[in-house]
Amino acid sequence: MSLSISDVTVRYGDTAAVDHVSLDLAAGEVLAVLGPSGCGKSTLLRAVAGLEPLSAGAIAWDGTDLGGTPTHKRGFALMFQDGQLFSHLTVARNVAYALRLRRTPSARVASRVRELLALVGLEGYDDRLPGTLSGGERQRVALARALAVEPRLILLDEPLSALDATLRERLAGDLRSILQAAGTTALLVTHDHEEAFALADRLAVMRAGRVVQAGAIDEVWRAPVDEETALFLGYARIVREDAAARVLAAAGMASSYPSGAAVALRRSALVVDPDGSLHGRVESARVTPEQVRLVVSVDSVGSVDAVAPLGSRVSPGDEVALRVDVTRLAALPIAQAT
Ligand code: ADP
């Protein structure tokens, strides 16, 4: 194990921005801390970087407590949303910055810059100034700069959120393979589940200063601990009680769950199918490039999202039958009365 965050609390005055958080990160692993704005994830990242004093708990690397180690001696690199390149320096100079500070011999600097620009897919960009680059290219340069000194851990604060959707998707895939190729251990914080899914191996969901769920991405995705987590992970709706029982029965899953379980549904969990066992009336229909998205008022369930294949003729007011796609729903643990 490399990074170990044990029972860490960071307070600002009376409020705990990070509240008894414990997380472990193995070498070469990418962990995403996912949570809404204000949940404390940046504070946690800053604490790991050594930029925020701990009120309680400990952060260690390979078993060595980092309490007395200042930021610049931790061997960690930070990369922010907007990359924060030096606008008056060329791409090569930006990437070389930390190496020059360390008085690395210039032949070595030159070969390392070449290697890093190749890694991030920017060969030949050496002499460009940041102002002449696209947002995605600037983020690649920022990544190359962060990796230049071979950090043992890279800390990423929403590295893709400043980019538009298409670019974000492309760079996400690239970023993941770059991190893998470099064998870098990474801790990522983000409010965007897509960004977390695209980049990370493991996920920790954070809310109000606490980690409410942690695990492999698919585990967390398939079994969110509660309704709020499910909605944050991108599930579209929650159905409860009798409605949940109806959906589980239609999915053939009723016997596996106690009555009273709530069910989280993705937008595509219910599919128009003449053989489906749920019946309802279409409230709205909207054609997207992939499918027709519907809202259907289902008997004994209520309004739910559903999909039909492109080309289906479904209009508001139509009666439809729906089947349940069991891979697109999650039964939630029964909430404990408080
Ligand atoms: P996130 O990154 O999840 O949006 P932050 O870690 O930035 O959340 O903030 C967590 C909480 O701590 C918020 O309520 C925020 O207002 C508060 N906070 C963050 N930084 C400071 C600070 N320097 N002083 C006082 N309160 C802060």
Please give the domain boundaries of the chain with CATH numbers for all domains.
Answer: 2-229 (3.40.50.300), 235-332 (2.40.50.140)
Atom 17 of ligand 1: nearest residue by CA position: 17
- Residues contacting 73, CB < 8 A, separation 6+: none
Distance between Cα 43 and ligand 1 center (Å): 6
261: DSSP letter: -
Atom 15 of ligand 1: nearest residue by CA position: 38
Q: Is the dihedral of CA 290, 221, 239, 191 positive or negative?
A: negative
Please give the C-alpha separations between residue 144 and each of 94, 119, 131, 135, 302, in angstroms, as whole numbers: 9, 8, 17, 14, 51
Atom 21 of ligand 1: nearest residue by CA position: 12
Please give the C-alpha separations between residue 264 and each of 127, 154, 207, 238, in angstroms, as whole numbers: 51, 34, 19, 4
Instruction: Answer yes or no: is pLDDT of 253 > 90.
Output: no
Atom 13 of ligand 1: nearest residue by CA position: 38
15-38 average pLDDT score: 96
Q: Range with the lowest mean pLDDT among 15-24, 36-45, 157-166?
A: 157-166
333-337 average pLDDT score: 65
Q: In terms of C-beta density within 10 A (0-12 exposed, 13-18 middle, 19 or more buried), how is residue 269 classed?
A: buried
Instruction: Answer yes or no: is pLDDT of 257 > 80.
Output: no
Distance between Cα 38 and ligand 1 center (Å): 6
Contact present, 291 and 226 (Cβ < 8 Å): no
Sequence letter at residue 88: H
Round the average pLDDT of the chain to a whole number and report it: 91
Max Cα-Cα span within the chain? 74
Instruction: Answer yes or no: is pLDDT of 177 > 70.
Output: yes
pLDDT at 172: 83
CA distance 98 to 145: 8
Is the CB of 42 inside a 6 Å radius of any atom of ligand 1? Answer: yes
70 vs 333, which has greater pLDDT?
Answer: 70
Side-chain half-sphere CA neighbours of 137 within 13 A: 14
Is the CB of 41 inside a 6 Å radius of any atom of ligand 1? Answer: yes
- DSSP of 161-183, one letter per residue? TTS-HHHHHHHHHHHHHHHHHHT
| Secondary structure (3-state) at 209 | coil
Q: How many CB atoms lie within 10 A of CB 28?
A: 14
Distance between Cα 298 and ligand 1 center (Å): 43
Please give the C-alpha separations between residue 299 and each of 261, 268, 282, 296, 302, in angstroms, as whole numbers: 19, 18, 11, 9, 7
Residue 327: alpha-carbon gap to chain centroid:
20
Please give the C-alpha separations between residue 213 and each of 22, 61, 205, 217, 258, in angstroms, as whole numbers: 11, 23, 5, 11, 22
Atom 20 of ligand 1: nearest residue by CA position: 43
Residue 12: alpha-carbon gap to chain centroid:
26
Is the CB of 35 inside a 6 Å radius of any atom of ligand 1? Answer: yes
Please give the C-alpha separations between residue 149 and each of 112, 114, 137, 165, 184, in angstroms, as whole numbers: 9, 14, 20, 30, 12
* Apex 315 CA angle, 309 and 321, nearest 5: 60
- pLDDT grade for 50, boundaries at 50, 70 and 90: very high
pLDDT at 335: 63
Nearest atom within ligand 1 for CA of residue 46:
6
